[in-house]
Amino acid sequence: MNLHILSLEGQFYLVEAVDENGRQLLTDRKDRPHRFHCLEEIRDHFHSHKLEEVWLEQLTPYEEMCGLEDETSPLKVQLHW
C-alpha cells in the first residue's frame, strides 16, 4: 500500500491510501475526512501497516488567490519511513 499525504496550508493533513483498487481518502467514523495535525501522528497511525511508498503533497491556492492561472503542479516529496 502507498500513502499520499495532502498538506493543506500546513494546518492539517489528509491521507489517501493507494492500492490496486485505486485511491481512497481515509475517513473517520462519521465518514468525514480524517484530519491529522502532524506527520508524526500519521506515521504512528500507520505503524503496523506495510507501506511501499509515502508521498507528501503540498497544495497551495496562492496562484488562484492572486488572480493567476493555476498551472503549477503540487510539490511532491517522497518520505522514507
The predicted-structure confidence for 21-36, as pLDDT tens digits, reads as follows 999 999 999 999 999 9
Structural domain including 25 reads 2-79
Q: How far apart are CA 40 and CA 29, in angstroms?
A: 21
Rounded Cα distance, 48 and 10, in Å: 25
**SS3 at position 51:** coil
Count of the separate structural domains present in the chain: 1
Q: How many CB atoms lie within 10 A of CB 33?
A: 14
What integer pLDDT is reported at residue 9 of this predicted model? 73
**pLDDT given for residue 71 in this prediction:** 62
The pTM for the full model equals 0.79
Candidate ranges 34-38, 55-59, 70-74; pick with highest mean pLDDT = 34-38
What average pLDDT score do residues 43-52 get?
A: 95
